[in-house]
Structures are given as structure tokens and as C-alpha cells.
Chain A
Amino acid sequence: MEYWRTPLDIDKLKIPRGELHIIKERCKGCGFCVEYCPKGVLKLSEEFNSKGYHPPEAINPDECVNCDLCEMLCPDFAIYCVRIEADEKEVAN
């Protein structure tokens, strides 16, 4: 990642990591989570749930930074993210 200005405390920063949970049966396929995930983690899948909607799937789950935006924007309480502390990555200079 390139920085416009390198943060002064870069050696102390860690990139948070999140584990995604998608409750497929509750999803109505609106795409809010897919559109606004800042890391492009999600995509609507080809698969159908029992109501005929396409729930999202994580195409690159390792990129998730646990920002919770998908969880906040989802109008159907169908996706959430849990922080995995053990997996935090050092910030690459």
C-alpha cells in the first residue's frame, strides 16, 4: 500500500482482520454490502437461497479489515464480521 504521508506511528499500527459471517437464508440480495465494502471482499454469488435471492460470498476473505460497514448497511441483519485479533498483520512500509 502506498501512503501519501507515512503515519508517524506506523511501526505500532496493525491491520485488523475480520471473519465474515453471512446468514444466507436471511439475505435479500440487495447488494449494499457488495457495493460498499471498502476492500472489495464480497460479490453476489450465483447460488440461490430458499427465497430465490443471491446471497453474497467472500471472494477474498483475507482482505477483510473488520470495518463492519457491511454489517451496518445490511438492511436484513444478514451479514456480520468478528475481529480476529490473532491474525492482525503488520503494516507493510
Chain B
Amino acid sequence: MSVKVEELVREEHPMEKLLRMDRIPHIWCPTCGLGTTVTALAAALEQLELDLDNVAVVSGIGCTGRVAGYMKLDSFHTTHGRAIPFALGLHIARPDLKVIVFSGDGDLISIGGNHLIHTARRNVDLTVICVNNFIYAMTGGQVAPTTPITARSATSPYGNYEHPFNLPLLAASSGAVYVARWTALHVRRLTTAIKEAITKPGFSFVEVIAPCSTLYARLNKLGSGLDLMKFYHDNSVIRHGADLKEVDIDYQSKIAVGKFIDIEKPTYIDCMNEGGKRAFGDKYKPYGGGNGGN
């Protein structure tokens, strides 16, 4: 009996080198869009040809927070809302690393909101990818700071009446130097945006609109995640450089997507070195090198 070894080797998906395969299949629901956003990050890392030993992914709590556990990279799954402060510490201690924060709206924008605005204000060289599915998904579908007015959630059964955040406006007005928004359906443009965000020195923010089938779609009777993808297909409007005051998202409204902000500004480490030189002159020894590279 002769069985060739090749026949026993299971076929390998090209993504497998970037995933912890012992944890796959992942826990995300059928027609959830989160897996697609992970593919965009993996494709971006591959296309940038970065040394993966120098890339770290940090997530917080929630369905999106699982990403840190699925990527085969140095990663850390922080407590709720604390992905950015952990990433900030990592970046300051190891400015040679590319630090990517990958988390959800419920994590980054609510309990983590203060960290977001102050890290953007200081223009710390981090890439923040915020997957926005308009709801706290993992905890059972409560209203989030991104839930559109009139959308139903477990805690707004008659429709939400709170104003939601406009995330690109929030990030840009806090000081981010790169701000883009795409949906999970725009997977190639999203990959390009993630590549640009990772390459950009300073605080970059990419919002990804993605379907949550089990809670957002179900509680609002919007069908499956595939129906939401079709909705994005029909209702996304590409508006590069749009006036950010106009890109807020109403319930089932048109979604403005594109690259909104791409500007140059000294990073946190640049400013720290500048300040040190101002105060101590030649005695000051600069830290970390320009833009965080050693």
C-alpha cells in the first residue's frame, strides 16, 4: 500500500501563515463581516512585505476584540477600552515596532473614547482600525455610541434617540493625520487604506463598516449579513476628501466612504525630541529616531 505524503497534507489557504490555525474556525457568526476585515489586514501586511516579527496587533473586548487572538503575530487582548493605552506604551517602549490597534466601536469609542482622542491629539504613531457594526455585539446587542437614531437594539427596543458619534470627524478633529472609512464589502480599497495607514507616520484611523448579522441586522429586521453587504453596495458613496461634518451615518442612510484626511504633522516622538532639544540643547539625546523608526 502506498499513500503519498502529499495526499495526506491538507490543502492550505494562503491566509494560514498569518492566522493561528489552532483557533480556526473562529467564533464569529455566519454572515458576520469581521472575518473579511481580518483578510484585509492580512492582505495589507503581506503586500507591504513587512517583517512580521516587527508587527504587533492589540485589541480590546468585544467580537472585534477576538482579532488579536486569531492573528499569528505578537498580539495582546487588553481589558475593555484599553487597547490604545497598551498600544501607546508598546510603541513608546519599542518605537521600531508597527503597532496596530484592531477593535470595535463599542470598545474604542465608548469606554476607550478618552484614550482615542488624547492619543490622536498627541499624534502617536499608531494605526487604529475601528470596526463599526453600530452595536455592542458580544454582550447582547446594547445601544452603542455609534448606533444611529431610530435603530433598535436590546436597550433601545423602541428605537435609539441618542445622537451617535461621527467617527471620522471625531478622529480628525482630535488630531489624526490619516482618516478613511470603507465598508467590509470594499475589501480591496480597505486593504489599500490599511496599507496607507500603517505606512503613515502619526495617528491613523480607519473606520470599517461591517455587518453584525446576529444582533444589529436581526434586531432591526434587516435580513442577514449578506443583505447588509448588498445594502452597502447600493448605498455607499465614494467621497474622498469630503467635508467631515457631512459624513455622519443615519439609520439605513447613504454611507460616505473614502480617504478623508491625509496630512503631515510631527509625531509624538518627534515632538518629544523637539521639546528635549529646546530645553537641554546639545545635552539632549534624541529618543527612538524620526517617526518612531530606530
Residues of A within 8 A of B (CB): 21, 23, 26, 28-32, 35-36, 53, 69, 71-78, 80
Contact = CB atoms under 8 A, between A and B. Distances in A.
B146 to A, nearest CB: 21
Interface stretch (B26-34, B105-113, B237-245): B26-34
A53 B30 CA distance: 9
B14 A80 contact: yes
A89 B125 CA distance: 47
Contacts of B11: 21, 23
A71 B15 CA distance: 9
A80 B30 contact: no
A72 B188 contact: yes
Interface stretch (B155-163, B199-207, B225-233): B225-233
Nearest to A21: B11
B25 interface: yes
B19 interface: yes
Contacts of A31: 31, 226
Contacts of A72: 36, 39-40, 43, 187-188, 191
Interface in B1-30: 11, 13-16, 19, 24-26, 28-30
B24 A74 contact: no
Contacts of B33: 75
B35 interface: yes
Contact of B35 (A29, A36, A76, A80): A76
Contacts of A28: 25, 29-31
A75 B15 CA distance: 11
A30 B227 CA distance: 10
Contact of A77 (B15, B31, B40, B226): B15
Given A26-B24, A30-B30, A35-B230, A75 B35 contact: yes
6 contacts: A30-B226, A35-B226, A71-B39, A72-B188, A73-B36, A75-B34
Contact of B32 (A26, A69, A75): A75
Contacts of B39: 71-75, 77
Given A28-B25, A32-B31, A32-B229, 18 more contacts: A21-B11, A23-B13, A26-B24, A28-B30, A31-B31, A35-B226, A36-B185, A71-B39, A72-B39, A72-B40, A72-B43, A74-B35, A75-B31, A75-B32, A75-B33, A75-B34, A75-B36, A77-B16
Given A23-B11, A23-B13, A31-B226, A77 B28 contact: no
B225 A77 contact: no
Contacts of A77: 13, 15-16, 19, 24, 35, 39
A35 B34 contact: no
B26 to A, nearest CB: 7
A54 to B, nearest CB: 11
A21 B16 CA distance: 14
B240 to A, nearest CB: 22
A75 B27 CA distance: 11
B14 to A, nearest CB: 6
Nearest to A31: B226
Interface in B222-273: 224-226, 229-230
Contacts of B188: 72
Given A21-B11, A31-B226, A75 B28 contact: yes
Nearest to B31: A30
A78 B40 CA distance: 15
